């Protein structure tokens, strides 16, 4: 099976835009069934190396780049994903592997010798990057997401807001971990699709004077640690 790349738009929007898009999407799409009351909370722990490779590539707009993170939802550590997101020529793909809470905590603590024997290629790849390239947990990013899905084109539309950071704290499974608002971070509208974007969705996400942006939640939160 070949690599499956998806198209992606990102737009920085304001609260009035959010209300408009939310109303339109409720009319033409359906909420993600995993959302509770139409939304869920996401906590991610992003990785980078000693030279801030991922951060610098994002800021510089490098054509081919990747980022690593561990993520869970609604503060429920029973389902945790290790994810590698790759981008090339404006298209994105994501690789994912499950982690137990104990494994995720071990990675945070720098206890990584078990990773090579995990039998999961993505976990083994992260081990190599941590061992030989200085990759390490860098920043916690919290935010609220309202997700919508539309079958034709495998479309996913998300509204992300209340972006928060734990500053220098990387113990993302700690229920006492305090986060603060990541400055004046905008609301982010993301649209992802496979081969084509249906006109009904294209029309629904159109806003006047809004252009595609390269906003990075990770970069926004790295200002604080």
Helix (H) or strand (E) holding 70: strand 64-73
Domain interval for residue 116: 6-222
Residue 187 is assigned to a structural domain of this protein? yes
User: pLDDT at position 216, please?
Assistant: 81
User: Does residue 1 lie in a domain region?
Assistant: no
What predicted TM-score, i.e. pTM, was given to this entire model? 0.89
User: What's the start-to-end Cα distance of the chain, in Å?
Assistant: 39
23 within domain boundaries: yes
**Do the domain assignments include residue 113?**
yes
Report the CATH number that the domain containing residue 171 is assigned in CATH: 3.20.100.30
Cβ 88 vs Cβ 3: under 8 Å = no
CB contact at 8 A, 67 and 46: yes
Low pLDDT (below 50) residues in the chain: 1
pLDDT at 57: 66
| Contact predicate 140/121, CB 8 Å | no
Q: Evaluate whether residue 178 is within a structural domain.
A: yes
Q: What residues have CB less than 8 Å from 125, skipping those under 6 apart?
A: 84
Q: Is residue 72 part of a domain?
A: yes
The number of domains in the chain is 1
The answer to whether 217 and 71 are in contact (CB under 8 A) is no
Using the CB atoms, write b or e for 27-38: b if 16+ within 10 Å: eebebbeebeee
Amino acid 101: pLDDT: 97
Residue 14 lies in a domain: yes
Residue 25 placed within a domain = yes
Chain CA centroid to CA 225, Å = 18
């Amino acid at each position: 099976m070949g690599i499956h790349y998806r198209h992606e738009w990102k737009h920085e929007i304001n609260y009035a835009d959010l209300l408009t898009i939310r109303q339109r999407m409720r009319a033409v799409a359906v909420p993600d069934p995993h959302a509770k009351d139409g939304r869920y909370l996401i906590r991610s722990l992003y990785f980078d190396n000693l030279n801030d490779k991922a951060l610098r590539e994002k800021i510089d707009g490098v054509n081919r780049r990747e980022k690593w993170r561990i993520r869970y939802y609604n503060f429920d550590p029973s389902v945790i994903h290790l994810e590698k997101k790759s981008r090339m020529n404006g298209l994105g793909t994501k690789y994912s592997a499950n982690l137990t809470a104990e494994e995720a905590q071990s990675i945070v603590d720098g206890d990584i010798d078990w990773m090579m024997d995990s039998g999961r290629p993505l976990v083994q790849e992260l081990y190599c990057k941590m061992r030989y390239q200085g990759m390490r947990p860098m920043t916690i990013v919290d935010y609220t997401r309202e997700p919508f899905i539309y079958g034709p084109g495998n479309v996913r539309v998300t509204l992300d807001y209340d972006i928060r950071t734990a500053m220098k704290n990387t113990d993302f499974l700690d229920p006492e971990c305090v986060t603060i608002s990541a400055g004046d971070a905008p609301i982010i509208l993301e649209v992802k699709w496979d081969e084509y974007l249906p006109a009904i969705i294209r029309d629904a996400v159109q806003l006047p004077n809004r252009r595609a942006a390269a906003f990075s939640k990770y970069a926004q939160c790295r200002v604080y640690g």
